[in-house]
């Protein structure tokens, strides 16, 4: 069921009611989990005290606004970024396994970060640039090895899994060869963690993700046209090669930005687009449900990482790996049966 709304003279917006309701529910659930996370610190703080702290009142103002809030904002924004990155590559590959953490792009971004850690004096700018360069290099390798199929088909996914395995081995070798303090920091980073983030750590990444998201919104229509098939996209005026290059840049940029700040948080980009697609009942992989499902998965996983072994806080990547592993087994079983 869809509604057509007038938005300007001669222009109308087609709104799918089911998709809109799904997006609203996902957004509300994400915000509700964020509120619960605000209440969860060394102990449980009543929601009334937390709301007072957000207004600048009460004894827990600093812990809420300066310690917990940046982590929750990071979980929401990074979840959106990973969901969008997964949606981009699953639309490009037309395969539910075509996510940046499966086809080696996140591992490539992490390789770039490790090289900066071990060879130069790391700064926020150099780490982000290295992560982007590593992710793009991995994408180029996967593309060249799968030449003949482009960015579509099972062949690219299988090659990407092989590249992922090689890069994982390379990353382990770099860590083993590094100095002890660098190796310890890199190992913690590798797990994927939101622990210890503050406003200074996330202001630039959030800005970068916002810019990339706006650029992706402008390409959303040709992206979905391309996902329906090359012939249909070409007849509708889509310049496929140019579009694919831009989308790869955006997808790698989104996932690499998250990796540069929090490490490789796996399986969100794999699971979120398919969850959003199935809930919305869409034929392709819609961007907004994927983004909101990513935010919900990451905020929920982050809350679990704080609660399971409290007061010890686990890296959120440990939780997403456990949940995502089960999802991947289910998805592989389904694809094999198909």
pLDDT tens-digit map of 112-164 = 989 888 887 777 788 889 999 999 999 888 888 876 555 556 778 888 889 99
Among 81-90, 185-194, 208-217, the range scoring the smallest mean pLDDT is 185-194
Average pLDDT over residues 264-274: 90
pTM, rounded to two decimals:
0.89
The answer to whether 102 touches 108, Cβ cutoff 8 Å, is no
Distance CA 139, CA 115 (A): 18
More confident residue, 14 or 154: 154
Scanning 43-123, the segments in alpha helix (DSSP H) are 47-54, 61-62, 69-93, 105-119
Report the candidate in 283, 131, 289, 287 with the shortest Cα–Cα distance to residue 220: 287
Average pLDDT over residues 87-106: 87
The CA radius of gyration of the chain, in Å to the nearest whole number, is 20
* Position 224 pLDDT exceeds 90: no
Element (H, E) at 32: helix 17-39
If pLDDT is split at 50, 70 and 90, which confidence band does 191 have?
A: confident
* Position 242 pLDDT exceeds 90: no
Element (H, E) at 4: strand 2-8
Partners of 6 in beta bridges: 12
Q: Give the C-alpha distances (Å, rounded to integers) separating 237 from 8, 44, 216, 247.
A: 24, 56, 18, 17
In the chain the first and final C-alpha atoms are separated, in Å, by 29
**pLDDT confidence of residue 335:** 64
Report the candidate in 87, 158, 107, 205 with the shortest Cα–Cα distance to residue 335: 158
Scanning the chain, the segments in alpha helix (DSSP H) are 17-39, 47-54, 61-62, 69-93, 105-119, 124-145, 154-177, 180-191, 199-218, 220-227, 230-235, 240-262, 268-280, 287-307, 316-337
* Position 51 pLDDT exceeds 60: yes
Average pLDDT over residues 2-30: 70
| Three-class DSSP category at 57 | coil
| Residue whose structure tokens are 């609660």 | 307
**pLDDT confidence of residue 299:** 94
Distance CA 208, CA 197 (A): 17
Residue 67: DSSP 8-state: I
* Phi (first) and psi of residue 98, to 5 degrees: -80, 70
Segment 295-312, tens digit of pLDDT = 999 999 999 988 887 777
Domains of the chain, start order: 15-337 (1.10.3470.10)
Share of the chain above pLDDT 90, in %: 32
The answer to whether 270 touches 99, Cβ cutoff 8 Å, is yes
């Amino acid at each position: 069921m869809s509604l057509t709304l007038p938005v300007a003279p001669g222009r109308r917006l087609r709104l799918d009611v089911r998709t809109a309701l799904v997006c609203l529910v996902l957004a509300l659930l994400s915000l509700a989990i964020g509120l619960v996370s605000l209440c969860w610190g060394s102990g449980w703080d009543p929601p009334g005290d937390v709301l007072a702290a957000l207004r600048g009142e009460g004894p827990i103002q600093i812990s809420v606004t300066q310690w917990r809030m940046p982590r929750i904002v990071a979980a929401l924004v990074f979840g959106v970024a990973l969901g969008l990155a997964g949606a981009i590559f699953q639309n490009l590959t037309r395969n539910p396994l075509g996510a940046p953490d499966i086809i080696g792009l996140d591992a490539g971004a992490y390789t770039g970060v490790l090289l900066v850690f071990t060879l130069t004096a790391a700064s926020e700018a150099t780490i982000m640039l290295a992560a982007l360069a590593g992710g793009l290099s991995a994408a180029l390798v996967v593309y060249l090895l799968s030449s003949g199929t482009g960015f579509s088909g099972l062949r690219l996914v299988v090659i990407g899994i092989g590249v992922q395995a090689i890069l994982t081995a390379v990353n382990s070798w770099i860590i083993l060869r590094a100095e002890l303090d660098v190796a310890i920091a890199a190992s913690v980073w590798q797990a994927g963690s939101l622990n210890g983030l503050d406003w200074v750590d996330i202001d630039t990444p959030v800005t970068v993700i916002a810019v990339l998201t706006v650029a992706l919104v402008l390409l959303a229509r040709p992206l979905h046209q391309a996902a329906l098939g090359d012939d249909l996209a070409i007849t509708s005026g889509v310049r496929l090669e140019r579009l694919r290059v831009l989308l790869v840049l955006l997808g790698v940029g989104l996932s690499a930005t998250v990796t540069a700040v929090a490490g490789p948080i796996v399986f969100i980009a794999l699971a979120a687009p398919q969850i959003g697609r199935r809930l919305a009942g869409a034929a392709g992989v819609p961007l907004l449900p994927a983004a909101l499902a990513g935010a919900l998965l990451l905020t929920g996983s982050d809350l679990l990482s704080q609660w399971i072994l409290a007061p010890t806080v686990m890296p959120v990547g440990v939780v997403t790996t456990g949940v995502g592993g089960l999802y991947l087994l289910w998805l592989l079983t389904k694809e094999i049966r198909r």
